[in-house]
């Protein structure tokens, strides 16, 4: 044997030993339900927490939700949903109540930081990872349940939603609670009522309706109907007490829907159902259009790092459709996926309810040795855990330089470490895909620490609203300043500068300054001619107190703002 062959053999032995060590650790943890849930929750917290309190509000939906909650807490009106003076009748009340509870529980008041408004999403995402375990454990395979929970906790899409003060992470938790009850009813040989499962199922569906309308029902209807058709009977649903359960679900949701219907004189249903829901089904809304197949192409990014193992295990999965766990996953994912692919309006989070089921199918393939390890695609997939942090490290440097900022050195170094861990995951792919997946989860957690914890919060040019609000308050020496913005109408500015912030044009900004004391105007460069013309017409003297430059993500352009106050207001 040559020295090269001996060295290669020793290296192979090292990787095999490491793979065995990791796989044995996974086995030991999976034998304990408490240990499994604790590990999933810890991994989820480590994956979701970086950037939670340090990332600025992300326009546009997040600050709209947070601002509406802000106004609820500010006014004490927890029935109506308003964004400044306008009604916001797009989603039901559930997420606003949860965000209000977060504000109340932390004692921060309506001016709480965006991180407080994000807490329901953080806890919802952690719950979703744990409920993935609860759903999977119903099929009697502890290692599958543990792996599925870890894969969900480390996926890109859920990590993004965990950091946004909106509906989707909480919605996912309610859907998975309903899935867990439904799967247990289907697997049982009894047709007697199970009040525990029925209570979980119908309460979860009621909560999902209060969070985001009928989307949770649609996700659950897919397996409910198809499994009944496959079984040739709906009798198994008796365990879920359909009639009493439906009545209970209506009791959960009806009070607010009736109250808002009366208070809004039907406007809520016209807006939420007629325009928002049906509008997205039949046409492209808010320029969020994409052709069918877009979600499939995005899967390799949004389902990272689990996508590598799903793609190499798909043949095994499709060959075992008769296995209960695979059948349940397929009937839950395929029809739902086809529906959202067919919709003209497409947003990445629309497919999020399918991801835990994909994770369970992927974990089943990992557990049974169904991951393909030969061929060029398998070799490519083996490098999957390293394919995200490496480009992100390069992008972190390039984007910072393009914006005229210094890159986050700590963030780049952490991403490099994540890439190295990803390479280790790739080396473990051949001896043990399970060990490879476990290390890929670690690589993902480190990646999120680097990108969300350091790189993105470090970029000052994207903090336009925050910088404007800070500069505006510094320009005025009075207790209750008011602001107007000309040429920049992002909801994050309203959230950070105040509910009474006026969004207008250059002429309107000048008129705003002339109408009272303790006021500042943020005038985008292109609005300066109309602003100056109007100040001349009013005979008003103004002082420019500063300039804010930044990069507007919505619109993708560099912007420049000039901050003005009436001359008498200059401190």
C-alpha dihedral sign at 159, 165, 171, 173: positive
CA–CA dist 433, 384 (Å, integer): 12
CA–CA dist 485, 254 (Å, integer): 40
Strand ranges in 368-446 using DSSP code E only, listed in sequence order: none
CA–CA dist 551, 256 (Å, integer): 40
**Residue by residue, what is the 3-state secondary structure of 66-103?**
HHHHHHHHHHCCCCCCEECCEECCCCCCHHHHHHHHHH
Strand ranges in 372-516 using DSSP code E only, listed in sequence order: 482-486, 502-504
Q: CATH 3.40.190: which residues of the chain?
A: 464-569
Phi and psi, residue 559, nearest 5°: -130, 155
CA–CA dist 360, 320 (Å, integer): 14
pLDDT at 2: 46
CA–CA dist 54, 115 (Å, integer): 8
Residue 364, preceding bond cis, omega within 30 degrees? no
pLDDT at 191: 87
Per-residue pLDDT of the chain in tens (571 residues, 90 and over written 9): 444 444 445 556 889 999 999 999 999 999 999 999 999 999 999 999 999 999 999 998 999 999 999 999 999 999 999 999 999 999 999 999 999 999 999 999 999 999 999 999 999 999 999 999 999 999 999 999 999 999 999 999 999 999 999 999 999 999 999 999 999 999 999 889 999 999 999 999 999 999 999 999 999 999 999 999 999 999 999 999 999 999 999 999 999 999 999 999 999 999 998 787 777 766 656 656 688 889 999 999 999 999 999 999 999 999 999 999 999 999 999 999 999 999 888 889 999 999 999 999 999 999 999 999 988 888 888 899 999 999 999 999 999 999 999 999 999 999 999 999 999 999 999 999 999 999 999 999 999 999 999 999 999 999 999 999 999 999 998 989 999 999 999 999 999 999 999 999 999 999 999 999 999 999 999 999 999 999 999 999 999 999 999 999 988 899 999 999 998 755 5
For 189, the token pair is 């040989």
Cβ contact 417:410 at 8 Å: no
CA–CA dist 219, 208 (Å, integer): 11
CA–CA dist 216, 395 (Å, integer): 36
The residues, any chain, with a CB within 8 Å of residue 329's CB and separated by 6 or more, are 317, 357, 358, 360, 361, 364
Tokens 């320029």, residue located: 287
CA–CA dist 113, 121 (Å, integer): 15
Comparing CA positions, the residue from 296, 358, 307, 300 lying closest to residue 332 is: 358
The model carries a pTM of 0.96
pLDDT at 519: 96
**Could you count the other beta carbons within 10 Å of the beta carbon of residue 57?**
27
3-state SS, residue 499: coil
Cβ contact 93:167 at 8 Å: no
Phi and psi, residue 63, nearest 5°: -65, -25
pLDDT at 6: 44
CA–CA dist 22, 25 (Å, integer): 5
CA–CA dist 71, 60 (Å, integer): 17
Cβ contact 234:215 at 8 Å: no
- Helix, strand and coil content of the chain, in percent to the nearest 5, comes to 70, 5, 25
Cα dihedral 272, 273, 277, 282, rounded to 10, equals -130
**Could you count the other beta carbons within 10 Å of the beta carbon of residue 86?**
7
Is domain 464-569 given the CATH code 2.60.120 in the classification?
no
For 145, the token pair is 């349940």
CA–CA dist 248, 160 (Å, integer): 33
Q: Beta partners for 542?
A: 566
């Amino acid at each position: 044997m040559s020295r090269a062959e001996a060295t290669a053999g020793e290296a192979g032995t090292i990787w095999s030993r490491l793979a065995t060590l990791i796989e044995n650790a996974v086995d030991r943890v999976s034998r304990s339900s408490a240990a499994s849930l604790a590990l999933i929750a810890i991994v989820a917290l480590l994956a979701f927490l970086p950037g939670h309190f340090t990332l600025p509000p992300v326009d546009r939906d997040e600050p709209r939700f947070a601002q509406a909650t802000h106004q609820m807490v500010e006014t004490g009106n927890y029935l109506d949903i308003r964004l400044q003076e306008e009604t916001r009748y797009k989603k039901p009340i559930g997420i606003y109540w949860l965000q209000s509870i977060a504000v109340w529980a932390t004692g921060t008041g309506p001016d709480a930081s965006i991180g407080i408004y994000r807490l329901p999403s953080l806890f919802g995402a952690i719950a979703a990872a744990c409920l993935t375990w609860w759903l999977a454990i119903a099929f009697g395979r502890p290692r599958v349940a543990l792996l599925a929970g870890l894969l969900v906790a480390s996926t890109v899409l859920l990590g993004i939603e965990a950091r946004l003060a909106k509906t989707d992470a909480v919605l996912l938790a309610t859907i998975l609670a309903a899935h867990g009850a439904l799967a247990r009813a289907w697997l049982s040989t009894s047709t007697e009522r199970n009040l525990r499962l029925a209570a979980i199922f119908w309460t979860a569906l009621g909560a999902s309706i209060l969070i985001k309308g009928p989307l949770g029902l649609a996700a659950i209807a897919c397996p409910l109907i198809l499994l009944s058709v496959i079984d040739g009977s709906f009798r198994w649903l008796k365990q879920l007490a359909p009639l009493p359960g439906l009545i209970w679900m209506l009791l959960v949701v009806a009070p607010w829907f009736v109250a808002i219907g009366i208070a809004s004189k039907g406007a809520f249903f016209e807006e939420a159902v007629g325009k928002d829901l049906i509008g997205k089904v039949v046409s492209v809304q808010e320029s969020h259009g994409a052709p069918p197949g877009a979600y499939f192409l995005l899967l390799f990014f949004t389902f990272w790092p689990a996508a590598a193992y799903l793609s190499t295990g798909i043949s095994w999965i499709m060959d075992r459709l008769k296995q209960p766990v695979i059948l349940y996953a397929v009937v839950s994912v395929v029809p739902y996926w086809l529906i959202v692919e067919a919709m003209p309006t497409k947003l990445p989070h629309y497919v999020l309810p399918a991801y835990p089921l994909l994770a369970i199918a992927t974990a089943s393939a990992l557990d049974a040795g169904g991951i393909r390890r030969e061929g060029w695609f398998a070799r490519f997939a083996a490098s999957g855990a390293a394919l995200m942090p490496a480009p992100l490290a390069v992008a972190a440097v390039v984007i910072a330089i393009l914006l005229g900022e210094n890159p986050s050195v700590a963030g780049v170094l952490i991403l490099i470490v994540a890439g190295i861990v990803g390479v280790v995951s790739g080396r473990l792919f051949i001896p043990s895909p399970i060990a490879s997946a476990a290390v890929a989860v670690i690589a993902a957690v480190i990646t999120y620490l680097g990108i969300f914890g350091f790189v993105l919060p470090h970029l000052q040019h994207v903090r336009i609203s925050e910088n404007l609000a800070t500069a505006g308050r510094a320009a005025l020496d009075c207790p209750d300043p008011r602001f107007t913005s000309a040429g920049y109408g992002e909801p994050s500015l309203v959230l950070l500068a105040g509910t009474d912030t006026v969004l207008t044009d250059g002429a309107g900004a000048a008129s705003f300054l002339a109408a009272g004391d303790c006021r500042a105007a943020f005038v985008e460069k292109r609005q300066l001619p109309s602003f100056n013309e109007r100040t001349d017409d009013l005979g008003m003297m103004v002082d420019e107190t500063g300039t804010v430059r930044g990069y507007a993500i919505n619109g993708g352009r560099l912007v420049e703002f000039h901050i003005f106050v009436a001359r008498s207001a200059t401190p």
